[in-house]
Amino acid sequence: MLLELQSTIIYGPIQSRRIGTSLGINLLQAMTKVCTFDCLYCQYGWTDFSCLEKAEYPAPEQVARELESALDKLSTPPRYITFSGNGEPTLHPDFGRIVDLVNDIRDGRAPETGTAILSNSTTVSRPGIREALSRLDLRIMKLDAGSETMFASYNRPAPGITIEEITEGLAALDDVTIQSLFTKGPAGNFAEPNITEWIARLKRISPVLVQVYTLDRGFPSREIEKLERDELEEIRSRLEDEGISAKAF
């Protein structure tokens, strides 16, 4: 069963299997998926790329007000305040300004809380986006594929986005954590030579950590299947053999 899209700017806190207690920030239009990917496994279902032209975004001041209100109501601060939501958060035209506002609010109301992002990496080639990302405490960036062919069929990006451009952008970003979702089945990415090519890209990026995981929620494609724990561990072990720190979830 697919998840319902977020209807508010601030949501949660939720318990994330990768980062713990997280208060989410949705910078995208309410109840509308706004993304540059149309992944086979997306918990929100398929993407209509026309949203990229029609999307409306909340004002930075509104984001700040709602975050302040949410933090003031919590008895215990979350481990992270996380940009995620209904698609790709860096698509917001004022993303950099919002990062600064969120950091200021965190410093004043929850100084022990980190700021984080879950991003599909499609804007990381833009210097301004990388600069804004560098001001967050945790950058979890997506890389599921090793080849342009697998990238095109598995992540199904909007026109003009290439995995090579993403790889170059990630390599220019310091202290990056890579998130990679693996599936098997006719359209899955748990296959050679994709994994070998994916590892080669990771070596160029030099991430501080790779988070390897598989399906945990609903997904729209009938051509992918969840990996078993031993299959995830196989990927993790291969990364460790290459000197790349990794965790399987």
SS3 content of the chain, % helix, strand, coil (to 5): 35, 20, 45
In Å, how far from its chain's centre is CA 66? 22
Q: What mean pLDDT is reported for the chain?
A: 97
Does residue 171 fall inside a structural domain? Answer: yes
Residue 205 pLDDT exceeds 90: yes
- Phi, psi (5° rounding) for residue 140? -105, 110
Q: Give, as one character, the DSSP assignment of residue 90.
A: G
Per cent of the chain over pLDDT 90 is 99
pLDDT of residue 76: 96
Domain that includes residue 130, residue range: 10-248
Query: Does residue 89 lie in a domain region?
Result: yes
In a domain, 146, yes or no: yes
Cβ atoms of 140 and 180 within 8 Å: the answer is no
- CA distances in angstroms from 73 to 13, 109, 110, 138, listed in the order given: 11, 11, 12, 24
Preceding peptide of 220 cis, ω within 30°: no
Q: Does the residue 3 lie in any domain? A: no
Total domains present in the chain:
1
pLDDT computed for residue 148 by the predictor: 98
Confidence (pLDDT) at 41: 98
From the DSSP assignment, how many helices (H) and strands (E) are in the chain?
8, 10
d(CA 86, CA 58): 13
DSSP code of 18? T
Say if residue 152's pLDDT is above 90. Answer: yes
Question: What tokens appear for 68 in the block?
Answer: 């302040």
What is this structure's pTM? Answer: 0.96
Retrieve residue 18's tokens. 């990768």
* 140 belongs to a structural domain: yes
Cβ neighbours of 199 (radius 10 Å):
17
- pLDDT at position 249 is 95
The residue among 48, 49, 28, 54 whose CA lies nearest residue 160 is 49
Q: pLDDT for 19-57, tens place per residue? A: 999 999 999 999 999 999 999 999 999 999 999 999 999
| 5 lies in some domain | no
Phi, psi of 206 (to 5 degrees): 55, 60
Q: At 136, give phi and psi (nearest 5°).
A: -90, 160
Residue 69 domain-assigned? yes
CB 52 within 8 A of CB 99: no
- pLDDT score recorded for residue 17: 85
d(CA 172, CA 130): 8
In this prediction, residues 149-176 reach a mean pLDDT of: 98
Nearest to 87 by CA among 19, 150, 157: 157
In a domain, 95, yes or no: yes
pLDDT surpasses 90 at 172: yes
- Give the CATH number for residue 243: 3.20.20.70
CA angle 146, 172, 39 (to 5 degrees): 40
Q: Where are the alpha helices (DSSP H) in the chain?
A: 51-54, 60-73, 95-109, 127-134, 148-154, 163-171, 194-205, 229-241
- Mean pLDDT of the 151-167 span: 98
